[in-house]
Structure 1
Amino acid sequence: MLTEKLRELEREYRNVERELADPEVFGNTQAYLKLNRRYAELGPIMTLWQEYQAHSAAAQEARELLEDPEMRDLAVSDLEASEERLRAIEAELDVLLLPSDPRDSRNVILELRAGAGGDEAALFAADLLRMYQRYAETAGLRLEVLEASESDLGGFSKVVAELSGDYVYRRFKFEGGVHRVQRVPATESQGRIHTSTVTVAVVPEAEESEFELDLSQVRIDVFRSQGAGGQGVNTTDSAVRAVYKPGTPEELIVVCQDSRSQIKNREKALLVLRSRLAEQKQREEEAEQRASRQAMIGSGDRSEKIRTYNYPQNRVTDHRLTGENKNFPLDTVIDGQMGPLLEALQAMEREQLLEAMAEQEGS
């Protein structure tokens, strides 16, 4: 356990506590939210750290009493209890002190695209969207569809949504990749099981200070909204298309038509564009450091997958997990009860970080 690191965090915790009480900070919504988020992050660590210090003091007192014949038995018992709790606290703090992704607290842009499987893949994209919507509702998150391209049978060939709330990226970052479904499609007359795929991209929202978007390189088109969104949304030219570096190999297009407000759609389109470009920049930097790193999303081919949804066997299998820990009941997961699955993936990340730290210490 890193005692000096904990003392530094304690000083930071007290500083954040003082700043939160400052009326000027309270009047700055963005600064207040950032400080409050950091205060919440440090809270569990400080609670354990204070308990650790209390048990350390109790253990020291017990050691001093070992020399007293009348108090020895009680001192031995107290010492054993304190040392046992200290070991448990150390293990908990080791996990809490693991380096965290600085993007964990951010909102995300979620993009689903139907891959192999045609109409059945589009229907599965709709199923995944509903799964995420239901999970968001139970987790106190907000999911807002920004763009949706409907298929003939009621599915989606593409959906772009914004997920906002507490620590959204930490919850959703493992959803990026190819999701494979195995089931009998509604259009299958002979009862044969088909395999289809949907690719999911999870992009943390970029802050303006993190990535400066040159608006002179962006063309804004305004047009009449189409598809889902209610009758009112189709009565005005409210949809916005933001085109980054149009006509070049770097061209990137973002469409936002969910809101009736052209201004709001423009803001959302630029937010998505900025986030995608920031993610692209980070990926390029990571690729330079680790040339062998694979892209989060493959081609959508049936052989590429992070997770399989097997309807005949009512089983969801996450292929990054191991043993029985990788299987979950499909009916509950697809209904939005994703907590156990997401927690297992977060535990996997913690184990990998602990192993990496152990290797570094060993070398």
Structure 2
Amino acid sequence: MRVDGAWRNLARALKRLESAAPISRHRYSHPHAPILHSPVSRCFRSYSDEVQQHQLSSDLVRIMEQRLSAIEHRNASLQNLVNQPEASPADYARANKELRKLSGCMDLITHLRTKQKEIDGLKSMMAECPEDKDMLDMVTEELRQAIDEEKRLQSLLLRSLLPKDDADERDSILEVRAGTGGEEASLFAMDIFKMYERYSYKKGWKFEVVEITESDLRGYKEASAAISGSGVYGKLKFEKGIHRVQRVPVTEKSGRVHTSAVSVAILPQADEVDVQLRNEELRIDTYRSGGSGGQHANTTNSAVRITHIPTGMTVAIQDERSQHMNKAKALKVLCAKLYEMERSRIQISRSKLRSEQIGSGDRSERIRTYNFPQGRVTDHRVGITHHAIDDVMQGENLDVFIDALLLRQEMDAVASFSSSQ
């Protein structure tokens, strides 16, 4: 059976995870055991084995065919809708958006249907010339190759049918807040915020600061940014939660190690189609920005506070000198918050399998510990410890944790697909 590009990508992710030395394995295997016995390898092997079993399952193929037929029918209905001149702009936009999401799957279905017709033709040829050995041998080999290709396409389609987060390709709003730990928490919040800024630049993403509220020692009590690029939310969504730090604060004179915490929120940015804000639902207040005084004091009402009356949600921005720019930023953040609120409401009503397997990312969860005296970073959800904390804080090697969580997500998606049959 051929190995398709999807599994090769996962294999490369696995290799990158396990080659990013040094990664601790002491909690899962003998310290001298080969790297193939790491938990990530076991996850990947069981995942690949399950997919191969699915490819051989006639019951699963039958269920897939039912879903593929439904997708083909839905695609035809959407095509008909966008071709109707009386369609409203909102309906047209929604239909086009769904068609774009279906396009990749539809391409695979088209290739699969072509290959299945080819297989039927080859089987007919075999039935027509049972006595012609040379012809039979040639057709048999072509049939074998065609069946292998059919299985490859079915494998890709299985992966495309697995439950996924529709927001993965969206841009994101990053919010970092200092938690327990006083000034040390604020200083670490600044370090975490800059870590994601460096990571974004390394990924080729655009990182735009939205708002920063500084502490007395110039740490960050709160900081937010808009991150734009390819697949930003899909990469960063598992970063939300409590990040714990253990180190000697700059304010500590006796050299004792303190433990502080920072909360990170990752919100998918909303499109106008997703969230429609009505003017009558918004209360917009303007006021003078706070500053360091002197020539930096703001003498105009450039700061903006927007309140969404139905939910009581408030966003205040004073980062820019222009009232117009602050208002635009505030509306972007408000839309993201309202969109995430609706997503959360829907997710709560669905199966809790994903949150049980990976963790919901709720801010009450401690997801990662940064231990500076021992120079290590540990992600508690996947049990991976990376012994190069300085590199992590510089935005390097975050993919060690992110890729492991994405592999876990793929495994969970397979389990969810299987259990729904």
TM-score normalised per structure 1: 0.75
Is the alpha carbon distance of 1:40 and 1:313 closer, same or farther for their aligned partners in structure 2, counting shifts above 3 Å?
Answer: farther
CA contact (8 A) 2:205 2:228 kept: yes
Please, what is the CA RMSD of the aligned residues? 4.3
How many Å apart are 1:150 and its aligned residue?
1.0
2:366 alignment partner, SS class: coil
- For 2:240, give the aligned amino acid: G
Is the alpha carbon distance of 1:90 and 1:309 closer, same or farther for their aligned partners in structure 2, counting shifts above 3 Å?
Answer: farther
Q: CA separation in 2, counterparts of 1:274 and 1:126?
A: 25
Is the alpha carbon distance of 1:65 and 1:216 closer, same or farther for their aligned partners in structure 2, counting shifts above 3 Å?
Answer: closer
- Which residue is equivalent to 2:10? none
**Whose helix fraction is larger, Structure 1's or Structure 2's?**
2
- For 1:128, give the aligned amino acid: I
Q: CA separation in 1, counterparts of 2:119 and 2:255?
A: 68
Q: CA separation in 2, counterparts of 1:20 and 1:166?
A: 26
- For 1:3, give the aligned amino acid: E
Is the alpha carbon distance of 1:59 and 1:254 closer, same or farther for their aligned partners in structure 2, counting shifts above 3 Å?
Answer: same
TM-score normalised per structure 2: 0.66
Q: CA separation in 1, counterparts of 2:402 and 2:203?
A: 12
- Which residue is equivalent to 1:319? 380
How many Å apart are 1:148 and its aligned residue?
0.8
CA contact (8 A) 1:149 1:227 kept: no
User: Could you give the per-residue CA deviations for residues 170-229 of structure 1, whole angstroms, max 9, x where no partner exists?
Assistant: 23222221112233334444544332211112223344554454545644332333459x
- Which residue is equivalent to 2:65? 3
Q: CA separation in 1, counterparts of 2:288 and 2:415?
A: 53
- For 1:344, give the aligned amino acid: A
- For 1:317, give the aligned amino acid: T
Is the alpha carbon distance of 1:46 and 1:218 closer, same or farther for their aligned partners in structure 2, counting shifts above 3 Å?
Answer: closer
Q: CA separation in 1, counterparts of 2:95 and 2:401?
A: 28
1:203 alignment partner, SS class: strand
1:70 alignment partner, SS class: helix
Q: CA separation in 1, counterparts of 2:306 and 2:298?
A: 19
The structure 1 segments of at least 4 consecutive aligned residues displaced by more than 6 Å after TM superposition are: 11-21, 31-34, 288-295
User: Could you give the per-residue CA deviations for residues 291-320 of structure 1, whole angstroms, max 9, x where no partner exists?
Assistant: 998985445xxxx41122333444433322
2:415 corresponds to which of 355, 358, 363: 355
Identity across aligned pairs (percent)?
Answer: 36
CA contact (8 A) 1:308 1:317 kept: yes
How many residues get paired? 347
Can you give the 5+ residue segments of structure 2 that lack an aligned partner in the other structure? 1-60, 84-88
How many Å apart are 1:126 and its aligned residue?
1.4
2:289 alignment partner, SS class: coil
Can you give the 5+ residue segments of structure 1 that lack an aligned partner in the other structure? 22-27
2:382 alignment partner, SS class: coil
1:102 corresponds to which of 155, 158, 166: 166
Q: CA separation in 2, counterparts of 1:73 and 1:190?
A: 83
- Which residue is equivalent to 2:327? 266
How many Å apart are 1:94 and its aligned residue?
0.8
Q: Say whether 1:342 aligns with 2:402.
A: yes
Q: CA separation in 2, counterparts of 1:313 and 1:88?
A: 46
Q: CA separation in 1, counterparts of 2:381 and 2:173?
A: 23
Matching of residues 208-219 of structure 1 within 5 Å: 208-213=272-277, 215-216=279-280, 218-219=282-283
Q: CA separation in 1, counterparts of 2:74 and 2:381?
A: 36
Matching of residues 1-363 of structure 1 within 5 Å: 1=61, 2-3=64-65, 5-6=67-68, 9=71, 35=96, 41-60=101-120, 63=123, 67=130, 68-213=132-277, 215-216=279-280, 218-227=282-291, 234=298, 236-244=300-308, 251-284=312-345, 287=348, 296-299=361-364, 304-321=365-382, 329-337=388-396, 338-361=398-421
CA contact (8 A) 1:104 1:167 kept: yes
